[in-house]
Amino acid sequence: FLKPIDKINALMEMYPKGMAGFRRFCDLIDTEPDVKDAPDAIDVPSLRGDIEFRNVTFGYEPHTKVLRNVSLKIRAGETVALVGPSGAGKSTICSLIPRFYDVDEGEITIDGIPIKKMTQHSLRSKIGVVQQDVFLFNGTIRENIAYGKLGASEAEIMEAARRAHLEDMIRELPDGLDTVIGERGLKLSGGQRQRLAIARMFLKNPPILILDEATSALDTETERIIQQALEELAVNRTTIVIAHRLATIRGADRIFVVNGDGIAEEGRHEELLAQGGIYARLHRAQFGETLVT
């Protein structure tokens, strides 16, 4: 009887910290009562992941629009990188896809179906979000991974851990998957936390993935492993990355440059560099590379 209460207590302790990290995506569910299922909302059984914004205008406040008349298409299975200065609206675009907010004007569709016509539950079950600050609770590694799919089997959890390159670490622990993490257990490094979040996503297996790439420095080897795990995770999924790393940006099928109130430029890395516009300037400022590649 006491064990669950202890867990709830631990969760309550973790809550403010976890929520700070999840603020942009998850906190919104509670603070936005305006987002409601339509009376005739449909439970979408599956989605391919063709995403389209049609003339979307959106602001958190009625008189301050963050996005104006934004139109974009992301094809199923494609990996796109959102780049742009701080405050440009990259996270906002990502928050609109799981419908954490409703658009003021225009429409967002997935596979041609307006997201407003889907139940929020069925829509969000098709979208995985990997944030910079991973929300972990004070339970076992098993429980933290299984958070991606409640009721997952041992084999599924181990497979997800393997694909996220966590298997070796788990094998070396005396309690393996049952090792408690958090306040009273194993302390995980930043890289391990990210891999745990990736394991959750392999388990959840959503057709659409939103990645908010970490800005914090990791050692080169850890970064390589995480990059590799993320690339594997992105295979056969529509992936939208708020990108900070040059390797991600270069590897993307397309880059959207978010600036001011919308998409200023769109194309592949080389194309955008050749244009000599905003992307080329941003790229030079961020990575210090010359325009000639």
Residues that bind ligand ATP (CB under 6 A): 60, 66, 84, 86-92, 258
Q: Which of 199, 210 has the CB closer to ligand ATP?
A: 210
Q: Which of 100, 147 has the CB closer to ligand ATP?
A: 100
**Least distance from ligand ATP to the Cβ atom of residue 28, Å:** 7
Q: Which long-range contacts (CB under 8 A, 24 or more apart) does 229-234 make?
A: 229/163, 229/164, 229/165, 229/195, 229/198, 230/130, 230/198, 232/163, 233/163, 233/164, 233/198, 233/201, 233/202, 233/209, 234/79, 234/209
- Radius of gyration of the CA atoms of the chain, in A: 20
Q: At what angle do helices 220-234 and 190-204 cross, to 10 degrees?
A: 10
What gap in Å lies between CA 229 and CA 66, rounded to an integer?
A: 33
**Least distance from ligand ATP to the Cβ atom of residue 65, Å:** 10
Q: Which of 117, 244 has the CB closer to ligand ATP?
A: 244
Q: Which of 46, 86 has the CB closer to ligand ATP?
A: 86
- Residue 192 corresponds to which amino acid? Q
Strand order in the sheet with 105-110: 67-74, 51-58, 105-110, 113-114
Q: Are 240 and 209 in contact (CB under 8 A)?
A: yes
**Least distance from ligand ATP to the Cβ atom of residue 211, Å:** 13
**Least distance from ligand ATP to the Cβ atom of residue 193, Å:** 19
Q: Which of 92, 144 has the CB closer to ligand ATP?
A: 92
DSSP letters, 131-181, are -SS----SSBHHHHHHTTSTT--HHHHHHHHHHTT-HHHHHHSTTGGG-BB
**Least distance from ligand ATP to the Cβ atom of residue 251, Å:** 20
What gap in Å lies between CA 249 and CA 38, rounded to an integer?
A: 37
What gap in Å lies between CA 147 and CA 128, rounded to an integer?
A: 12
Q: Which of 92, 131 has the CB closer to ligand ATP?
A: 92
Q: Which of 65, 162 has the CB closer to ligand ATP?
A: 65
**Least distance from ligand ATP to the Cβ atom of residue 85, Å:** 7
**How far is Cα of residue 171 from the mean position of the Cα atoms in its chain?**
28
DSSP 8-state assignment for residue 24: I
Q: Which of 66, 157 has the CB closer to ligand ATP?
A: 66
**Least distance from ligand ATP to the Cβ atom of residue 87, Å:** 4
- Residue whose tokens read 């990645």: 211
**Least distance from ligand ATP to the Cβ atom of residue 69, Å:** 16
